[in-house]
């Protein structure tokens, strides 16, 4: 338009925000705008809260399951044994990345108790070295790992496994190993009666399948002689262990490989991470619906402000300035909802345990039975990068929602409007 001029950015922002929060608006348009803001508040708050809860569950898994898991393992490439493990241990202990190590032998077995049979993982350990590489000793609720050496053919069971088998400290269980023994009477699986000397509990899945015996007992049960299945390794930091253990691989003798915890337990944490991403995307759709409700709000606002638009265009305002006003109008509504939703989400995430406890008191129900879920309350771990991601995504969706109505406002012909004014 000849003689047109760009609107001052401050004026664009002022007019847009005035349209957003003016009290002199059509009542129906005000209701639609309020609904859009409330949808944004609920969407953003729920997304922040759920992501914090997912982080809390991941943290619980990491703390409980990885407390039993060494940072890495050195073992034969096949299913063989390490016959001269003491010499290898001496060499590895001199490596700067290795803080501690301990020998082990592990295999799947069948355990029979008075109640029923159960498949389990039986791991033979050196109790004097095990405390330096894992937290099994700290998880003991009855007895100690040292009792495995003090009493031959004794076993430490996970608390859930012992409960299912129907045994307790002092009782005996029958362990069957999937290896055959040839006798004059035929071929039989190897089995041995062990006495339960202790129980451990980490309130996670290992409680239901893990069992420990001493290294000497394991060598006899698995017919390993003086060999071991491998060496458990501890580094300075769990999270950096995969990178540090990768540097250990080149110095190992031929035929040996190194594995870190991300290879043995990583699938579980990758599944939790993928679940967090999928839940986040699903809840982001709620934010998207709330953001695109702004479209209807702006369409009604454009229809209501046609006269204002015509006057501004007649006075020489450019189409870009008009478009900027309505983009600011929509983003003003969205920003108010996003701000309130962020505040509500952060408060909920930091107090979710108290909120669930209050709900349990009000309705007289137990949302999380520790015997079933291994937790008594909802864990939550707020990460500020998640909050920033949610806010940025909500703002981008809101911006996208404002573009079409703002473009339509900029295309209004002032002559057509003023002709009927």
Of the pLDDT bands very low, low, confident and very high (cuts 50, 70, 90), residue 183 is low
pLDDT for residue 5 = 46
Q: Is the pLDDT of residue 3 over 70?
A: no
Mean per-residue pLDDT for 93-119? 89
Q: Of 7 and 277, which is predicted with more confidence?
A: 277
Q: Please tell me the predicted confidence (pLDDT) of residue 210.
A: 92
- Mean per-residue pLDDT over the chain, rounded: 82
Cβ-based neighbours of 69, under 8 Å, separated by 6 or more = 134, 261, 264, 265
191: left (phi over 0), alpha (psi -120 to 50) or beta: beta
The structure tokens listed for 389 are: 């991601």
Cβ distance 328 to 17 under 8 Å?
A: yes
8 secondary structure, DSSP code: P
Residues pairing with 210 in the sheet: 121
Structural Rg of the chain based on CA atoms: 33
Cα(first)–Cα(last) distance of the chain, in Å?
21
More confident residue, 183 or 127: 127
DSSP letters for 248-311: TGGGSPTTEEEEEHHHHTHHHHHHHHHHHHHHHHHHHHHHHHHHHHHHHHHHHHHHHTHHHHHH
pTM given for the model: 0.68
pLDDT at 119 over 60: yes
DSSP structural state of residue 420: T
Q: Two tokens at 143? A: 């007895």
Maximum CA pair distance of the chain?
112
- Give the CA distances from residue 214 to residues 126, 190, 191, 218, 228, in Å, rounded to whole numbers and listed in that order: 6, 18, 16, 6, 12
Q: What token pair was written down for 115? A: 């109640």
Per-residue pLDDT tens for 65-89? 677 788 889 988 877 788 888 888 8
Give 135-165 pLDDT, tens digit per residue. 888 889 998 998 898 888 999 999 999 999 9
Distance between CA atoms of residues 106 and 135, nearest Å: 17
Tokens of 240: 């950096």
Query: Which range scores top for mean pLDDT: 15-24, 185-194, 217-226, 337-346?
Result: 337-346
Is residue 175 within 8 Å of 192, Cβ to Cβ? yes
Between CA 138 and CA 133 the distance in angstroms is: 12
Residue 319 has pLDDT above 70, yes or no: yes
């Amino acid at each position: 338009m000849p003689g047109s001029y760009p609107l001052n950015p401050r004026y664009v922002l002022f007019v847009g925000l005035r349209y957003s929060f003016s009290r002199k608006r059509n009542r129906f348009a005000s209701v639609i705008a309020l609904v859009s803001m409330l949808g944004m508040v609920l969407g953003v708050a729920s997304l922040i809260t759920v992501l914090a809860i997912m982080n809390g569950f991941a943290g619980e898994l990491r703390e409980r399951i990885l407390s039993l898991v060494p940072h890495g393992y050195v073992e034969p490439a096949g299913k063989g044994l390490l016959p001269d493990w003491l010499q290898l241990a001496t060499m590895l202990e001199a490596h700067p990345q290795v803080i501690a190590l301990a020998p082990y032998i592990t295999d799947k077995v069948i355990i029979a108790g008075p109640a029923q049979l159960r498949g389990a993982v039986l791991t033979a350990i050196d109790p004097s070295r095990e405390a330096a590489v894992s937290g099994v000793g700290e998880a003991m609720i009855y007895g100690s790992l040292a009792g495995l050496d003090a009493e031959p053919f004794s076993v430490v069971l996970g608390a859930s496994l012992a409960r299912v088998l129907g045994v307790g400290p002092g009782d005996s269980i029958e362990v069957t190993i999937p290896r055959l023994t040839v006798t004059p009477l035929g071929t039989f699986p190897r089995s041995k009666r062990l006495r339960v000397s202790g129980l451990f509990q980490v309130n996670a899945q290992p409680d239901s399948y893990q069992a420990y015996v001493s290294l000497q007992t394991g060598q006899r049960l698995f017919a390993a002689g003086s060999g071991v299945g491998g060496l458990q390794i501890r580094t300075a930091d769990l999270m950096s262990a995969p990178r540090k253990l990768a540097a250990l691989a080149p110095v190992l003798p031929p035929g040996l490989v190194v594995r870190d915890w991300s290879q043995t337990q990583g699938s579980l944490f990758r599944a939790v991470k993928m679940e967090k991403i999928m839940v986040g995307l699903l809840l982001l759709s709620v934010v998207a619906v709330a953001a695109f409700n702004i479209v209807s709000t702006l369409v009604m606002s454009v229809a209501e402000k046609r006269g204002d638009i015509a006057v501004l265009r007649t006075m020489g305002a450019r189409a870009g300035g008009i478009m900027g006003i309505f983009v600011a109008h929509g983003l003003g509504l969205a920003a108010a909802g996003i701000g309130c939703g962020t505040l509500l989400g952060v408060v909920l995430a930091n107090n979710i345990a108290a909120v669930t406890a209050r709900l349990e008191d009000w309705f007289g129900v137990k949302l999380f039975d520790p015997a079933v879920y291994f937790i008594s309350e909802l864990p939550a771990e707020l990460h500020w990068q998640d909050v920033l991601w949610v806010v940025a995504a909500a703002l981008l969706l809101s911006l996208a929602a404002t573009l079409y109505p703002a473009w339509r406002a900029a295309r209004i012909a002032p002559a057509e409007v003023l002709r009927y004014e």
